[in-house]
Chains A and B, each alone.
Chain A
Amino acid sequence: MNMDESPGIKDPLFLTHWCMIRNNKVMSESNADIFHENLSTFADFIRALYKKENPGYPKFYKMDNLSKLGFMASEIVLRNSRAAEFYNKEKIGVILANSSSSLDTDMEYQDTIRDKSDYFPSPAVFVYTLANIVIGEICIRNGIKGENAFFICEKFDPALLHLHISAMFDQGRAEACIGGWVELLKERYDAFVFLVQKRSFSGQKMPVPETLIPFNEENLLNRYLNQSY
């Protein structure tokens, strides 16, 4: 850490944008219901969300469900913030976490190799049998080349996310960071993806949200637990 990055004069960090996807609903920092559609499966729900948002990225259809979930949440955060337009792509970090890793896709892949008489391992499914592929998809889509990590932990852990994201800023390795929880197993899904920025926004002429929420564990937890979702 540089001497001029002591806690006293450190540029504070803010939670500026976020997106929550759970219970057939999509919400963002405005708390407005961006999308609400009662469909019977996650696959139908996320496809309907994609069509509504219309990002024009057909590769979405090739992704596994975990990547689709993280991808759509990040699309909404990055669309609202326009961070990918204003920041150096090498200084945008991505730190995500979940509890089921890529188990949902691991099981789908296992189904393709379970029966020796019907043994057709799918390469397209196999490539998604790692949780951090979600980050890869977000980075490829937006040209992001910053530092990234995907953690597996029992439940949403604001302390872990806060620690790692803050460290990236403190050590000058990020000017903005996408963070969050992207969990999916079968029909149980829960995404909370957010953007952390400095007050100065790196001197960019980027639109500044009216309300700046300090980036800390308490605010992360409060937003994650928001009962209105």
Chain B
Amino acid sequence: MEELINKLKKEVIEQLNLEEISADDIDADAPLFGEGLGLDSIDALELIVLLEKKYGIKIEDPKDGKKIFYSIRTMAQYITDHKKPE
């Protein structure tokens, strides 16, 4: 899980162009939206694209997004639970 969390931090930084932030700056348990990284609604859509592009996971119900994208750790947990076996 920790390995996935670190990988995810780097992918989020790249996907969302968070140029002045390093992986070490991101607290895996901190909220991604509002406080924390201060992401916006377009970033939320980009995170949905990231899950689909990198992990082949499609979020069927947008209402689930709030829980899935609460933090890097919740994203990692969702990926672990839903990633298709290779």
Contacts and interface: CB of A to CB of B under 8 A. Distances in A.
The secondary structure that dominates the B interface is helix
A121 B45 CA distance: 10
25 contacts: A47-B19, A58-B18, A58-B19, A58-B20, A61-B17, A61-B18, A61-B19, A61-B20, A62-B16, A62-B17, A62-B42, A120-B52, A121-B49, A122-B46, A122-B49, A123-B42, A123-B45, A123-B46, A123-B49, A124-B16, A124-B42, A124-B43, A124-B45, A124-B46, A127-B42
Interface residues of B, number: 12
Contacts of B18: 58, 61
A75 B67 CA distance: 38
The secondary structure that dominates the A interface is helix
Contacts of A124: 16-17, 42-43, 45-46
Query: How many interface residues does chain A have, given as a range?
Result: 10 to 19
B53 interface: yes
Nearest to B46: A124
Nearest to B37: A58
Contacts of A47: 19
